[in-house]
Structure 1
Amino acid sequence: MSSDRAQRRAAGKRLRDSVPRESHADWHPAEGRDPFAILHANDVGRLIELIPLRYERMRANPFAFLRGAAAIMAADLVGVPVPGIPVQACGDCHIGNFGVYRSAEGQTLFDINDFDETLWNVDFTVDVKRLAASVAVAAMAQGEDKAHRAARASVCAYREHMRELSHLSPLAIWHSRIDLDHEIGRLGDGDLCRRLLADAASETAGGLSHGDAPDLDPDSFHSDPAQWRIADKAPTIFHDGPNGLTEAVQEAAAALLAYPQSLQADRNLLALRYVQRDVAFKVVGIGSVGTVCAVGLYTDADGAPLFLQIKEARPSVLAPLALSPFFLASEGQRAIDGQRIMQAASDMFLGTAYSEVSGRSFYVRQLKNKKLSAVGEILSESGPKAYARLCGTTLARAHARSGDAAMIAGYLGKGDAFDEAVAEFAMRYARQTKSDHAMLLEAYEDQAQPE
Structure 2
Amino acid sequence: MSSPDERAAHGRRARKRAPRSSHGPWIPSADRVDPVVVLERQGADRLAELLPIRYGRMAASPFAFLRGAAAVMAGDLATGAHTDLTVQLCGDAHLLNFGLFASPERALLFDLNDFDETCPGPFEWDVKRLAASVAVAARDNGHSDKQAHQAARAGTTAYRTTMRRLAALGELAVWYERIDAHDLLPLVRSARHRARAEHTLAQATRRTSLHALAKLTETTPDGRRRIVHDPPLLEPAGVSDAAAIRKMFGDYRSTLAEERRRLLDRYRFVDAARKVVGVGSVGTRCFIVLLAGRDTDDPLFLQIKEATRSVVEEYVPQAGAPLHPGHRVVSGQRLMQAAGDIFLGWMTGPQGRAFYWRQLRDMKGSADVAGMPPDELLAYARLCGTALARAHARSGDRIAIAAYLGGADTFDRAVASFALRYADQTARDHTALRRAVADGVLTANPGL
Aligned residue type for 1:173:
V
Q: How does 1:254-403 map to 2 (within 5 A)?
A: 254-303=247-296, 304-355=298-349, 357-369=350-362, 370-372=364-366, 374-377=368-371, 379-380=372-373, 383-403=376-396
Aligned residue type for 1:182:
D
- Could you list the per-position Cα deviations for residues 153-205 of structure 1 after superposition, in whole angstroms to 9, with x for gaps in the alignment? 110000000011011112111100011111244455111111111111235xx
Q: Report the Cα distance in structure 2 between the residues aligned to 1:259 and 1:359, rounded to whole angstroms.
A: 14
Partner of 1:194: 198
Q: Report the Cα distance in structure 2 between the residues aligned to 1:246 and 1:186, rounded to whole angstroms.
A: 52
CA distance 1:365–1:125, change in 2 (3 Å): same
3-state secondary structure, aligned to 1:152: helix
Q: Report the Cα distance in structure 2 between the residues aligned to 1:209 and 1:193, rounded to whole angstroms.
A: 23
Q: 2:399 aligns with which of 397, 401, 406?
A: 406
Aligned residue type for 2:113:
N
Q: Report the Cα distance in structure 2 between the residues aligned to 1:297 and 1:291, rounded to whole angstroms.
A: 20
- Does residue 167 (structure 1) correspond to residue 168 (structure 2)? The answer is yes
CA distance 1:113–1:278, change in 2 (3 Å): same
CA distance 1:86–1:101, change in 2 (3 Å): same
The alignment's C-alpha RMSD in Å is 2.2
Query: Deviation at 1:136?
Result: 0.6
Equivalent pair of 1:253/1:279 in contact (CA under 8 Å): no
- Could you list the per-position Cα deviations for residues 285-332 of structure 1 after superposition, in whole angstroms to 9, with x for gaps in the alignment? 011100010110001133310001000000000002324433334100
Aligned residue type for 2:203:
D
Q: Which shows bigger deviation, 171-180 or 185-194? A: 185-194
Partner of 1:179: 180
Equivalent pair of 2:209/2:299 in contact (CA under 8 Å): no
Query: Deviation at 1:32?
Result: 3.5
3-state secondary structure, aligned to 1:358: helix
When the two structures are superposed, what TM-score results if normalisation uses the length of structure 1? 0.91
Identical positions, percent: 45
When the two structures are superposed, what TM-score results if normalisation uses the length of structure 2? 0.91
Partner of 2:26: 27
Q: Report the Cα distance in structure 2 between the residues aligned to 1:6 and 1:209, rounded to whole angstroms.
A: 52
Aligned residue type for 1:162:
M
In the alignment, structure 2 segments of 5+ residues that lack a partner are 442-448
- Could you list the per-position Cα deviations for residues 393-443 of structure 1 after superposition, in whole angstroms to 9, with x for gaps in the alignment? 000000000011111000000110000011111111111001111121122
CA distance 1:30–1:184, change in 2 (3 Å): farther
Q: Report the Cα distance in structure 2 between the residues aligned to 1:220 and 1:421, rounded to whole angstroms.
A: 62
In the alignment, structure 1 segments of 5+ residues that lack a partner are none
Q: How does 1:52-67 map to 2 (within 5 A)?
A: 52-67=52-67
CA distance 1:146–1:213, change in 2 (3 Å): farther
Aligned residue type for 1:407:
A
Query: Deviation at 1:79?
Result: 2.9
Partner of 2:446: none
Partner of 1:230: 227
Q: Report the Cα distance in structure 1 between the residues aligned to 2:325 and 2:148, rounded to whole angstroms.
A: 35
Query: Deviation at 1:382?
Result: 5.2
Query: Deviation at 1:42?
Result: 1.0
Equivalent pair of 1:123/1:323 in contact (CA under 8 Å): no
Partner of 1:75: 75
- Does residue 436 (structure 1) correspond to residue 433 (structure 2)? The answer is no
Q: Report the Cα distance in structure 2 between the residues aligned to 1:407 and 1:152, rounded to whole angstroms.
A: 21
- Does residue 217 (structure 1) correspond to residue 211 (structure 2)? The answer is no
Query: Deviation at 1:62?
Result: 0.4
Equivalent pair of 1:347/1:366 in contact (CA under 8 Å): yes
- Could you list the per-position Cα deviations for residues 222-244 of structure 1 after superposition, in whole angstroms to 9, with x for gaps in the alignment? 5xxxx32111222211116xxxx
CA distance 1:212–1:425, change in 2 (3 Å): farther
Aligned residue type for 1:297:
L
Partner of 1:4: 3
Q: Which shows bigger deviation, 39-48 or 317-326? A: 317-326
Equivalent pair of 1:90/1:114 in contact (CA under 8 Å): yes
Q: Report the Cα distance in structure 2 between the residues aligned to 1:360 and 1:13, rounded to whole angstroms.
A: 42
Equivalent pair of 1:148/1:427 in contact (CA under 8 Å): yes
Q: Report the Cα distance in structure 1 between the residues aligned to 2:269 and 2:374, rounded to whole angstroms.
A: 42
Query: Deviation at 1:446?
Result: 2.7
Q: Report the Cα distance in structure 2 between the residues aligned to 1:51 and 1:256, rounded to whole angstroms.
A: 27
Query: Deviation at 1:211?
Result: 6.4
3-state secondary structure, aligned to 1:423: helix
CA distance 1:237–1:406, change in 2 (3 Å): same
CA distance 1:253–1:332, change in 2 (3 Å): same
3-state secondary structure, aligned to 2:438: helix
Q: Report the Cα distance in structure 2 between the residues aligned to 1:420 and 1:253, rounded to whole angstroms.
A: 52
